[in-house]
Amino acid sequence: MLAFEQGGPKVDVRIWPGLAITSALQLVLTADELPGMGDDFASIARDIPSRLADSILVLVLARIPEALTDLAVKQGAIDLPPEGFLKWVEMLDESELSNNADFMRHEAAGNRHETIQSPESDQAAESPIDWLREMASNEQWAQLEQLQKNPALLKDLSIDVLRTFWTDHFQSLYAQHETDMRSATARLLGEPELQHNLAGLLSRLQRRTIELAEDWTEHHERTLLVPLPFMGPYLMSMSICEPEELAVFAFDARRTAGLQSQNASGPDISKLKALADETRLKILQFASGSERFGGEIVTYLQISQPGVSRHLRLLKASGLLAVRQEGTSKYYSVCDAELDALAEEIRAMKSDSKERTKDKTS
């Protein structure tokens, strides 16, 4: 079953074969718009026959990949092996699939959030669904309209496309990277930052600063990291409401291959970036030694509330600033232990550099 054990870790790592299949189906036609996902995934995209590509486009516009993901999470099928997942799809009630897809198209915007983050920016990239809308022909829009009126036909097409896509195109890539996904899961479960500094861990994983919005870090009961057999430098984030409030981050399993501990890789880059700003240094100085109310910080800095909030989010994400909520108010204090550890890492790096210099001159 998908449900986490009561009292278990707030952040976990799982392999979700179902998500690998549905997200690959959702993104394969936009591989050119998301460069860097991997040569093997790009090769799949190039080899898709035009007839299959047309059917995939219609299903993505119908929001079938999201509907299947949502239903699979609710029914505990998302972590079934690929063949088990496909058989589960075949057993789905046609009306349930159609209704869920309709919900995804019209009502899920405020409940189920999904974005692809770009490697060049911390902001979300344009939604792949927007690119596909521009690609769709009048005939495909007409086919979509007919499918929406015929749940049985929609389910039959979904099964046929999923089976063909898996067997003829995606299965070999999945098998090639299955070991990578297992290794990524084991490596992340052993990371100390997994439970206490998720933003820092994601930043190291993606090689750039990842800021987590407060509604992701505070309003979800659980957070799940899911390694995929593709994605390259991109990060997919999803918010799922049932069976529990769940934040999901999906990423390329191969990104963990170079993931080293903080001591092995030197100072935490996300912390150094947080310190590389005069305003954030002022916040740390102001909150050092005593807890500060958010309004106090705004008054002290004399800059806009949104500007202060952005700096506070980044400091919190880096692990340098702690936040305590009391009612609707938030109080901030410096994490002295994190600052001390960072200083020690910098001293160690300086010491190592001196030793290497001595070795070269001796």
Q: Is 295 a residue whose pLDDT tops 80?
A: yes
Q: How many angstroms separate the CA atoms of 255 and 42, rounded?
A: 17
**Average of pLDDT values for 342-346?**
77
**Average of pLDDT values for 177-197?**
89
Least confident stretch, 146-155, 168-177, 210-219, 307-316: 210-219
Predicted confidence (pLDDT) per residue in 127-161, tens digit: 667 778 888 889 999 999 999 999 999 999 999 99
Q: Which of 112, 105, 118 is nearest to 236 (CA)?
A: 118
**Average of pLDDT values for 73-81?**
94
Q: Domain-by-domain residue ranges, the chain?
A: 11-256, 262-355
Q: How many angstroms separate the CA atoms of 70 and 248, rounded?
A: 12
Architecture of domain 262-355: Orthogonal Bundle (1.10)
Note the pLDDT of residue 217: 54
Reported confidence tier of residue 358, pLDDT bands at 50, 70, 90: low
Reported confidence tier of residue 6, pLDDT bands at 50, 70, 90: very low
pTM: 0.70
Query: In whole numbers, what is the pLDDT of the chain averaged over residues?
Result: 83
Least confident stretch, 130-139, 259-268, 298-307: 259-268
Note the pLDDT of residue 299: 92
> Which residues, including other chains, have CB under 8 Å from residue 311's CB and lie 6 or more apart?
277, 279, 280, 283
Residue 280 is which amino acid?
R
Residue 5: HSE in the Cβ half-sphere, 13 Å Cα cutoff: 4
**Average of pLDDT values for 189-217?**
78
Q: Give the strands of the sheet with 113-117, arranged side by side.
A: 11-13, 222-228, 246-252, 235-240, 113-117
Q: Is 323 a residue whose pLDDT tops 80?
A: yes
Most confident of 11-15, 111-115, 290-294: 11-15
